Structure 1
Amino acid sequence: MNGGDDPDTDLLSRVFLTRVIEPGDETGGRWVREWGVAQVARRLRDGGEPLPGVSGTRWAGLVARARRAEPGRDLEVARAAGVRFVGPGDTEWPGQLDDLGDTRPLGLWVRGRPSLRMWAIGSVALVGARACTEYGAHMASTLAAGLAERGWVVVSGGAYGVDGAAHRGALGAGGATVAVLACGVDRPYPRGHTELITRIAEQGLVVGELPPGDHPTPSRFILRNRVIAALTRGTVVVEAAYRSGSLVTARAAQRLGRFTMGVPGPATSGLSAGVHELLRGEAVLVTDAAEVVELVGDMGELAPARRGPVLPRDLLRPAARRVLDALPAGRPVAPGEIARGAQTTRDEALAKLYELRSLGYVERHGDGWKLTRQAMISVPDGRSRC
């Protein structure tokens, strides 16, 4: 709460301002910081001299909005829909949102039982293209399920495509997920995701800056993304074209000092072009949940080392491997020639050849030695020796 303001007055003033000031309005945020929510609300209700930083026309538009605002009614509608209002200073307020400075939300409308503050502490954003490919949907779902199984909360925007796949992946794994909407949380959007968002509200949280009944607009979607970025420990972009709104989320995360990650796709895919551009900058390439947690998790939570399969010849001692590598494919070779190729003596080469014969790698042909079919199948670089 702002210092000196009565809690009830502060609550009504903040709810009032969510109806009047657009999300992310830096000028409105500065007014609240300098004068407090109650004073700003009074000035807008009175409609007198404009507060600094806006034209007369814009002030008149804000005052017109203020005349239609009914914070008490908004709270009643919210309560009937199982929605609560959480403002800065409340015990449930996620402190990391304060990193947004004057663009910090005036408050958040929250639908669902868990504590937003507690869930936000261990959360990761998964965002991406609405018109994603099957690959993008698969990666989003798999990443979300892996994160949920590790106890992380998956945050996304509730949209079609990657967002929906991320939410479903977390829910399918029995995990936690949060949908941050660009409209009133009592009216699911998009409508095709009504069932999904209802399920998220039952098992997780649905949050937004806009009061009950408010509708989304293109600018509200873009401004919503800063909340996703600030709320979470890091943002993963699964698929995104050059002009994707998901890149707005990623860049907001970078400005806030959060981790930014990208899932690579085909170099020929326009839906991965934006992700690849991020990866050419400060974003980190990730391919599974373990690699995400290695970045956002506690010290020592390392992803397993990646390596190819261990082949039987990898287990040979160096001297034996040098002798094996000295044998050309397709013809028997005398021990002296093998010794020169292996840079060793003839006696040492013979000793290793008998060892290699017992393991099935070479066979004797008169005075010469030849690779067996087993040894000729492949060499370490993957090329055929046949």
Structure 2
Amino acid sequence: MRKSVLALLAVATLGLAACDRIAPQRSGGGETTVTEAGTRTVTPRGALSDSEQSTVSLFANAAPSVVQVVGRTQTSIGAGSGFVWDQQGHVVTNNHVVEAQEIMVRLANGDALRAEVIGRAPQYDIAVLRLERAPGVPPLAIGSSSDLRVGQSVFAIGNPFGLDQSLSSGIVSALQRRLPTPQGREIADVIQTDAAINPGNSGGPLLDSAARVIGVNTAIFSPTGVNSGIGFAIPIDTVARVVPDLIANGRTPTAGIGILVADEAVATRLGVEGVLIWETSPGGPAARAGLRGTNPQAGVLGDVIVEANGHPVARLADLTNEFERVGVGRTITLVIERGKGNRSQVQVPVQDIGD
């Protein structure tokens, strides 16, 4: 009995397999189409929508000028993104992407080229590479970040997790954010976006809908290190000001007045509202203008900067941002407090305090 049941199951299975093909049938003198069981007919679609066509065109035109940047150290290999800046073979990326002994750049067509770092601006997290030969692709168009509006469309092209030539899209989520740097300064007017920016996107371009670079993707805000809808890009107006200096001189000026300020936590504990001067550089602009540092032994606080060029100063970033706006070689107007309630105005030249 058991054998006969198994035999029937086998016959039934064979029968089902044989029925996967539908034999031609006559119906009304005609023959039906032979089809595979379970197959579906492709439904034709119309043309892509205008927005889809625009995005496809944007990627097709911009992607060849976006590169993968690979940095090798003695112990590790890291990767990020970058984009072609000019016809001479210069590539813009993040400074933190190229903190390595050996740099290679892989073009969109797969070519791998050696590259050297010819300029760094750590205070803006920007670096410029020079390729061993011109890449043979056009540089990306440069836009402006001064007229961006929250809600407008943006597109990021890069190499997240090493997956090259990836496109993500979103909107400008916020403007005028501040991004801290390891040097104790802050990058001003940073663009916030919800376009997916993940590890490997750093250094790649953030584009507007006209395929112009409006920012350089640099960081995400996420406890897991994976995109959570909040990414940041350095504004192109800053990048466009810094890059020519990096190409010509290898560095860009760091605007300042020659002071060392107290840690914000220390100033808060001392009841200081503003930026407390801890030391002045001998012979520097601040010292020549008569500004005073703190004397811990005597228990005397230094001058507190509370205003710069008419803007309130609550922390160091407020002050350094005003230095950047004024620029090296010009004069900044400071309001200082020396002793409780005793305020005065002083003019101080801004100079290059970089190494």
More strand by share: 2
Does TM, scored on the shorter chain, surpass 0.5? no
More helix by share: 1
Q: Tell me the TM-score normalized by structure 1.
A: 0.21
Q: Tell me the TM-score normalized by structure 2.
A: 0.22
